[in-house]
Amino acid sequence: MSFSEKPIGIFDSGLGGLTLVKAIKEKLPYENIVYLGDSLNVPYGDKTPGQITEFAFWNTQFLIEKGVKAVAIACNTADGTARREIQECFTLPLVGVIAPAAEKAASLTRNKKVGVIATQAAVKSGAYERALRSYLADCQVFSAPAPRLVPLIEAGKITSEDSDTVEALREYILPLRDKGIDTLILGCTHYPLILELVKDIVPGMNIVCSGTASIGALTEKLRAAALLNTSGVRGTAEYFVTGDPTEFGRHAGVFLGENIEGKVQKA
């Protein structure tokens, strides 16, 4: 196997990063993937910065031991808290989800008012504010922690019939809309599953999904390092979790769009 045919490593605190796996399979079909869900420690959003950094370090180390050529941090909380430290420790190409989403939002906003919903830890880190202002210095950023969304999404409550989810979204998003934002970042890789619900609540607003927005940045990093897989052979994916593989596999299909029950390994 040539180095360019080695897999891309992706980690998240649990299931949400599978939306990035799905996007890579669609946009970069020849790439092989190794996914690690740190389901033993989910959620990261209520952990300390020190704990999150430790988890991110060991997740990255695990993927490197699996022979990956690059790492994608598919977790907003880990990206906002630990990416700089991870980059200092490892030399392989590293892509997060925050900077690509911020860059896209900065290019879309016309009134320079951007809203963000994310986990408590991601909001507290201020990473989106810093990233947005690095692309648009006078951008006004309005952030809201959305602690109820991840449990609701993982419970499969992602349709307009799920009143708890719709109510939570309205609670988090409408105050941001009232601030006059014209662009909203969904700052968690779980949130693409409720994109249509968000569109119904704020029709006509620019909406950026972190994670899927990072595909362009990942592609460019791989191209710059001559690491894009051009073999023409459809890539494969391996799935590992730190928690219960059976439980993870049971719920993964909602995020991935395919059934991987029985294919998830214990890390």
Active site residues: 75, 188
CB-based contacts of 110, cutoff 8 Å, min separation 6: 182
Could you tell me if 7 and 68 are in contact, meaning their C-beta atoms sit under 8 angstroms apart? yes
Q: Are 222 and 70 in contact (CB under 8 A)?
A: yes
> 3-class DSSP state for residue 76?
helix
Structure tokens given for 255: 């995020």
The backbone torsions φ and ψ at residue 265, rounded to the nearest 5 degrees and listed phi first, read -110, 155
Cα separation of 79 and 95, whole Å? Answer: 9
CA distance 178 to 16: 28
